[in-house]
Structure 1
Amino acid sequence: MHEARRIQFVVTSFSYLQGLTAVPYGLALALAAVWANSLTHRAGAIDVLIVSLLVAGLLFVAWLASRYYEREYGRALAAPPARRIDWVTSLAGAALALGAFGLDVSYDLPFSAIGLVGASALLVVYFRAAWLATGKYLLYYPALAAAGFLVSILPALGLAGWWTRFGLRSQLLAICVVIGLLYVVAGIWGHLLLTRMLPRDREERHV
């Protein structure tokens, strides 16, 4: 039974275990925020070109990582219920992130709405895996989510302006750096978990 659940977990969460594909996205978010923070003038065409090339390079690295996983571990085709969950959560997450961004740039809130959404996304991944595979997996996701929640409410806890201690000009930029780094950690952790749980092969796996 334990082996069957382990296989079910790997198949249903295979995309989240391909952690090296997530690392470039987290780095792109964090580095874009650092770049925006470093600007002392209105961004010009050269500035935009440089950061665009950097982000494009990181996305290319993510693509290379996905090819690596397909070559070394094969493909895992999740069942339709899992794919439907992913579609719904992705669309809902995108809508919430857009709304949260609007709140953060429009109002001086004692918390970061975008940070709360980003942390919630990590928590959703954990509950998704636990529900689909009927077990406790990806326990590092709740830990990372807790860190994201805590940082997002620091102003409400009496630490208004905490980001200035790190040389950042706004809470939004600071949260983007933090969430980006949390996603990097989640990606690395997921990759290490995959290498322990799944031997390398080139077979296609089905639920």
Structure 2
Amino acid sequence: MTDGASERIQYDVFALADVEQEKYQLLAERVQESLAGFECERSPHLQTFARSSVHRYEAHGHSRTYVIITPTQDSIDVAGFFTVGMTALNLSNATGSAKKKLMGDISLDQTGAYSIAELARSDSYSSAQLPGSTILDEAKEVIKRARSYVAGRFVVVDARQEVFDRLYQPAGFRIIDVAKAPMDMPDVPFVTACAVIKDW
């Protein structure tokens, strides 16, 4: 039996905006090349985002992408990534008990929230090498740093039901609504879920 921790890859997390500074030109070129060939067959949406949309979202300030970079024999590779942004959390469809657990004694149907909009691992790496929970933990750290400056109570994700069950529910997220699936995955069940940041 192998120790899962011994299979884990070494990695560093960088904001894509930082990597793309002129002084990191060689690193930026390798990151761009890796994203352009990013493979994630489990989610065509995430694969397309990495290959063709990530820079557009960065340029518009819609979200910030963080790349998980691991060394290879002769260079580096993007083993995974996540994006963090802002969204509106609509609790009007949540049950009374769910709303109470989330909002406490402040009753609002809508509030601002952080969003983990994309979270992916490259098909080149196994879950033993880079667990989804590790990528999520890195996203949580970014959000906690942001919260220390500008406050904020919630983080929201839209996720496939199976990903919610495996990754987000054990991390304290609760389903609050059914989500619309991406256009390239119309028949896959998606949910909207949120977590209370202070519970981390």
Q: Same fold (TM over 0.5)?
A: no
Larger radius of gyration: 1
The one of the two structures with greater contact order (alpha-carbon pairs below 8 A, sep at least 6) is 1
Q: Which is richer in strand?
A: 2
Q: Which is richer in helix?
A: 1
TM-score (norm 2): 0.29
TM-score (norm 1): 0.28
